[in-house]
């Protein structure tokens, strides 16, 4: 779903790579959101695959032998060659696909990558300070923040279908980790980091949703990854001493995190948001 603001009047865009301007006329600023006639089954499949890939992330993070921020760095850094290869292949096969220009468009992509950097760093820390179940459940509260921001700040309409979907999402998260979920002072710091993760991940999803109307998923992932790598490459050595994996198992854990949870997981999520 794509929406646009115009100081001249009402502009309606139909989402996708090729946007179509439907109408505009002189009037106060107003937003018109055109609801899709049907929901793409391919988008649902992409979101399902993305959620599956992300679901393996806590396991890879726990297996990593480097610090949480360093793990986040290797996750994004090792994924970059694959993501840029996909972007360049797209550029050859679809030369008319939109490419970001220096300025506001590039700024949104770099903002997405910067938010993702802090999201991953905080979440990886939460996994170390609380249980995997707690970290997963609290981080999956991102839709709550998306709903609150969308309703109170962006004045978006919250539909009954969305509320039902939100309820099912939270129920599923608790069912997955419910047996191991526990609240207590010992895990409080990690739990709070999990909630903070949800805020940053919700912000990341909203930013990606904003740019997906203009750019393809490979474009978003490739350019946003540059910002993530930049920030993480500075944060990791400043906050941790064990930055480089020392064993084959250590390298396999961060490689699995990069390929399964980032390229497939986040890549499919970005595609599904289009």
Helix/strand/coil (H/E/C) assignment for every residue in the chain: CCCCCCCCCCCCEECCCCCEECCCCCCCCCCCCCCCCCCCHHHHHHHHHHHHHHHCHHHHHHHCCCCHHHHHHHHHHHHHHHHHHHHHHHHHHCCCCCCCCCCHHHHHHHHHHHHHHHHHHHHHHHHHHCCHHHHHHHHCCHHHHHHHHHHHCCCCCCCHHHHHHHHHHHHHHHHHHCCCCCCCHHHHHHHHHHHHHHHHHHHHHHHHHHHHCCCCHHHHHHHHHHHHHHHHHHHHHHHCCCCCCCCHHHHHHHHHHHHHHHHHHHHHHHHHCC
Q: pLDDT at position 131, please?
A: 82
Q: pLDDT at position 151, please?
A: 72
Q: Which pTM value belongs to this model?
A: 0.74
Report the DSSP pairing between strands 20-21 and 13-14: antiparallel
Domain extents in the chain = 1-38, 41-272
- In this model, does residue 246 exceed pLDDT 90? yes
- In this model, does residue 14 exceed pLDDT 50? no
Q: Considering the chain, what percentage of its residues have pLDDT values greater than 70? A: 76
CA atoms within 13 A on the CB side of 136: 25
73-99 burial, b if ≥16 CB within 10 A, otherwise e?
Answer: bbbbbbbbebbbebbeebeeeeeeebb
In this structure, of 86-95, 115-124, 148-157, 245-254, the range with the lowest mean pLDDT score is 148-157
Candidate ranges 43-47, 63-67, 98-102; pick with highest mean pLDDT: 63-67
């Amino acid at each position: 779903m794509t929406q646009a603001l115009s100081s001249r009047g009402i502009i309606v865009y139909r989402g996708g790579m090729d946007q179509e301007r439907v109408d505009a006329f002189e009037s106060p600023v107003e937003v018109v959101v055109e609801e899709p006639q049907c929901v793409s089954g391919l988008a649902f499949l992409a979101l399902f695959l993305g959620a599956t890939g992300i679901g393996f992330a806590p396991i890879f993070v726990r297996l990593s032998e480097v610090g949480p921020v360093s793990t986040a760095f290797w996750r994004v850094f090792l994924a970059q060659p694959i993501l840029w290869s996909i972007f360049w292949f797209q550029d050859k096969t679809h030369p008319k696909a939109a490419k970001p220009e220096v300025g506001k468009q590039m700024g949104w992509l770099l903002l997405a990558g910067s938010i993702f950097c802090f999201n991953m760093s905080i979440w990886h820390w939460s996994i170390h300070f609380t249980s995997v179940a707690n970290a997963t459940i609290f981080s999956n509260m991102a839709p709550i923040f998306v709903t609150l921001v969308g309703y109170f700040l962006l004045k978006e309409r919250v539909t009954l279908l969305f509320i039902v979907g939100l309820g099912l999402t939270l129920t599923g998260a608790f069912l997955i980790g419910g047996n191991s979920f526990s609240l207590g002072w010992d895990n409080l710091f990690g739990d709070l980091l999990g909630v903070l993760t949800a805020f940053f991940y919700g912000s990341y999803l909203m930013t990606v949703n904003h740019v997906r109307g203009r750019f393809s998923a490979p474009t978003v992932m490739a350019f946003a990854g540059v910002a993530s790598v930049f920030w993480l490459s500075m944060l990791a050595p400043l906050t941790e001493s064990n930055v480089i994996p020392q064993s084959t198992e250590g390298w396999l854990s961060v490689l699995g995190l990069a390929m399964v949870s980032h390229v497939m997981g986040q890549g499919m999520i970005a595609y599904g948001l289009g």
